[in-house]
Every structure is written in structure tokens, then in C-alpha cells.
Amino acid sequence: MSKDPIDEGLSMGPLVTFEGIEGSGKSTQIGLVRKFLEKEGCPCLVTEEPGGNPLGEEIRRLVLNRGDLQIGPLTELFLFGADRAQHVVEVLRPALEEGQVVLCDRFTDATVAYQGYGRGMDIGLIEEVNRWATDGLVPDLTILLDCPVEVGMVRSRGGDRFEREGYPFHQRVREGYLRIAQQEPQRVKVVSGEGEQGAIQEEILRILRPLLEMR
């Protein structure tokens, strides 16, 4: 039987999620934060949703890259929920219990923003699906990289299913993200995704350092 990390005298690692519209610069900034943590000797794991595990990678391929498939909004929601449930059990909780800092590219807020505000689905239903899928796991900190939709669309260049959506969809998603940040200002910190990469990283590290110092 595995021992509880509390019994072992270990502290749970923090879960830091990165959110934002397409082309907001999440992947770049996650990579820079990872380099910072590795330089500091801080164990960390970088993962993403959908994906991060074998089942999740298959779901990612189906939802994002199979343009020939017709996927309805409710089906899309449940596929993301299935991905998240597996991700939490197989990847996130084990890494957190080992004391690692987990940097996750998208999590529950993405589902609220994209399927809720973007697709117009019922927010209450989405939150219920998220609650079951995460088994109560909530990010310790969420970095919301915000930029104008027109900037993000130029950067993303219309690659996957969501990147090919039109301006109105992405504007609704951006507004949804900003509303989430207004509702949960202690957890969700808005950082401008425009400007020089180094300056953006410094702002993220300024927000992140107090959480790391608590470890």
C-alpha cells in the first residue's frame, strides 16, 4: 500500500496552470518558467490538456487535428472531461504528491472559456463535469496570458480545430477568461501576452515566487 505524502513528511507540490486564447504565448512562457525552475534545482513537470498521457494524446488528436470528424459541443465537452479525469489520476496527482511543481498548459478554466463562453454551453453543466473530472483538484495559481484576439489569430495561423474558428468565437473566449479572472482574482492573475518575452517572463516569475517560497 502506498503511503500518504503527509505521513512521509512531504508537501504537495503546487499546480500552476497557464491559460489564454490561441496565440497568447502560453507555450513559450511555460518553457521559460521550466528553464528557470530547473536552473533553481526545483523539480517540475510540464504537461498539457488535452494530452499529457497516452489516452489524452489520442483524444487530442481526435478533437484538435481530425478536421474530417464532426464533433458536437456536448461530445466535445465529454471528451475533454475524459481527458482531464485520466490526466488527473495518471499524471497530475502523482507528480504533485511527489512534491513537484506542475506547470499545466490549460485546465478547467479552458473548458469554461471555450465550451462555455465560446460554444455557449451551460456553465453549470461544465462546472459539474469539471468537478467530477478533477476529483476536486484546483490550481494553486493560474496565469492568464491575455492579448487582443487579432494578435493571437495572427500568431496561431489557424492550425487546429479551435484556431480555425472565427473572430467572434475567440472574442467570446477572451471575454470568458477575463470574467473568470474577475471572479477569482486570488487564483487567476492576468498577465499581458504582448511585449518582449523576457519582460513577460519577469512578471510571471514575480507572481510565481511567493508560491515557490511557501514550499
Burial label for 210, CB within 10 Å (0-12, 13-18, 19+), is exposed
For residue 105, give the nearest of 18, 13, 14, 174 by alpha carbon: 18
Going by pLDDT thresholds of 50, 70 and 90, the confidence category of residue 68 is confident
- Is residue 112 within 8 Å of 130, Cβ to Cβ? yes
Give me the residues paired with residue 19 across strands. Answer: 144
Residue-wise pLDDT for 151-200, tens only, equals 998 888 767 788 888 999 999 999 999 999 999 999 999 999 998 999 99
For residue 177, give the nearest of 106, 94, 92 by alpha carbon: 106
Residue 158: its pLDDT value, please?
A: 63
For residue 148, cis peptide bond before it (omega within 30 degrees of 0): no
Cβ neighbours of residue 99 closer than 8 Å, sequence gap 6 or more? 5, 10, 11, 12, 13, 43, 215
Q: What does the pLDDT average to over 110-117?
A: 98
Residue-wise pLDDT for 22-54, tens only, equals 999 999 999 999 999 999 999 999 999 999 999
> Which structural domains are found in the chain, ordered by start?
15-213 (3.40.50.300)
> For the chain, what percentages of helix, strand and coil (3-state, to nearest 5) are there?
55, 10, 35
Q: At what angle do helices 167-183 and 149-156 cross, to 10 degrees?
A: 120
Residue 154: its pLDDT value, please?
A: 87
Side chain identity, residue 153: M
Please state, in angstroms and rounded to a whole number, the distance separating the CA atoms of residues 92 and 96.
6
Give me the residues paired with residue 190 across strands. Answer: 144
The answer on pLDDT for 148 being more than 90 is yes
